[in-house]
Structure 1
Amino acid sequence: MKKNVVILTGAGMSAESGLNTFRDANGLWEGHDVMEVASPQGFSKNPELVLEFYNQRRRQLQQVSPNIAHKALVNLEERFKVTIITQNVDDLHERAGSSNVVHLHGELLKVRSTNGGQPIPWYNDLNLGNYCQNGHQLRPHIVWFGEEVPMMGKAKEITSMADFLIIIGTSMQVYPAASLIDFVPTQTPIFFIDPRPSIKSNPKRMLQVIPEKATKGVPIVVADLIHKAI
């Protein structure tokens, strides 16, 4: 039986593909109060601003490609059961070829009705007047600040069964996603890949920090795990 590799990815995973990140000084939210463009209150106050903000993100996403780190993770599927739990709303993991991706914070290339229901694929601009089949305005399929994270329960269950955990490009400061590390079994090896790691290596916890960008650190960890599995 294949062992479970669970991978947690954040903005640093996609930054090297050219996508702006939340935490960088020149990041995604510059020029906007985050609550104006990423909260139910902001959408209610100025829906046109919010829709255009995500239209710009959607256009940018379709102009970039998966990077070396995205592609390296796909190789793990040959020898392990791999689940990627990502805080990112892009589809770069899927485009690289990963077959099992859980999006905690929603998906940029999907929209849903403001009245609820299942998300649907959406690749063009989303504007006021774009309605669902029941006549309700469509909104980005994004988990905004103050909203419930519906995939969190599934993510906790997956993480609790990890034989290996790889954390890539995330500060582990954003909750509830950051709490997932607490659900990993005590003896599960953890690899933390980030150029500015917020935690230190801890041999007792089997925690190894790789202070590198994703495109350099991920291939190293993937090659190591595959070698050990041979």
Structure 2
Amino acid sequence: MSARIVILTGAGISAESGLGTFRDEGGIWSQYDLAEVATPEGFAADPALVHTFYNARRKNAAEAIPNAAHAALARLEAERPGEVLIVTQNIDDLHERAGSRTVLHMHGTLRAATCAACGHGWDAPPVMHAEDACPGCGAPATRPDIVWFGEFPYHMDDIWEALRGAEVFVSIGTSGSVYPAAAFVQDAARAGALTLELNLEPSETRSYFTEARHGKASEIVPAWVDEMLAGRWP
């Protein structure tokens, strides 16, 4: 997969739309033990608990509204067709609802379900239950199509290819603490890309970026897109 501009987005881009991050105190993530709701072992031990957690997240995401940062990236793609690829760590669909069309969800999406027994996939209903039968094999082994801790992210071959060919790599709203995404800036830089961090605060990988801008995503992302479209950046 080729793209001149590769953009990695994390939880920080959706935070202003009301979707919490791992680090939010009092948010949905803080109410659960991640080992119980975001690992294959947790699902095997208590699938009902995992479904309860993701049903709440699915409802939260469905009620959220794309913010100015999502809209700006969609505008960038619309005005520079064929040049922009969004790689997101997020499992919400706010990029698509804002108008982005070329999006790779490396951690899966709340909109999809899969079968832990046979691997069949389908559109997720608003509410899922542990006893739901797979429409493919009939087994009561349905799970959210989410990449959990200990599982391999989706689309990695396409992502590595895009990073090797990118002229610009931008990381938005991510802490730089989770691999393999944390290494994307190094891979893009080795391939010769100009690298930019747009984040609320410096990430753990700030030193690898050519340039960094810090502030609210809804402010700094539209400002950068305006510069790109006006030919003022890079």
Write out per-residue CA displacement over residues 120-176 of structure 1, whole angstroms, 9 at most, x where no aligned residue: 111310002211131122100001111122322221111111111111000111111
SS of 1:21's equivalent? coil
SS of 1:160's equivalent? helix
Contact 1:200–1:209 (8 Å) recurs in 2: no
Is 52-61 or 193-202 further displaced after alignment?
193-202
Which amino acid letter does the alignment assign opposite residue 12 of structure 2? G
Is 176-185 or 66-75 further displaced after alignment?
176-185
Paired with 2:109 and 2:195, the residues of 1 have a C-alpha distance of 26
Contact 1:169–1:194 (8 Å) recurs in 2: yes
Aligned residue number for residue 224 of structure 1:
227
Aligned residue number for residue 152 of structure 1:
156
C-alpha distance 116-188 of structure 1, shift in aligned 2 (>3 A): same
Work out the number of aligned pairs and report it. Answer: 227
SS of 2:57's equivalent? helix
CA deviation after TM superposition for structure 1 residue 39, in Å: 0.5
1:182 equivalenced with 2:189 (yes/no): no
Contact 2:189–2:195 (8 Å) recurs in 1: no
Q: CA RMSD in A?
A: 2.0
**TM-score normalized with structure 2 length:** 0.90
Segments of 4+ in structure 1 off by > 6 A?
Answer: none
Instruction: Structure 2 unaligned segments of length 5 or more: list them.
Output: none
Contact 2:118–2:137 (8 Å) recurs in 1: no
Aligned residue number for residue 128 of structure 1:
130
1:55 equivalenced with 2:71 (yes/no): no
Query: Which has more helix, going by share of residues?
Result: 2
User: Structure 2 residue aligned with 1:84, among 78, 83, 86?
Assistant: 86
Paired with 1:43 and 1:199, the residues of 2 have a C-alpha distance of 30
SS of 1:117's equivalent? coil
1:108 equivalenced with 2:113 (yes/no): no
Instruction: Structure 1 unaligned segments of length 5 or more: list them.
Output: none
C-alpha distance 181-122 of structure 1, shift in aligned 2 (>3 A): same
Paired with 1:116 and 1:49, the residues of 2 have a C-alpha distance of 22
1:142 equivalenced with 2:142 (yes/no): no
**TM-score normalized with structure 1 length:** 0.92
Which amino acid letter does the alignment assign opposite residue 214 of structure 2? P
Paired with 2:16 and 2:117, the residues of 1 have a C-alpha distance of 36
C-alpha distance 220-35 of structure 1, shift in aligned 2 (>3 A): same
Write out per-residue CA displacement over residues 31-67 of structure 1, whole angstroms, 9 at most, x where no aligned residue: 2111000011111111100001000001111111110
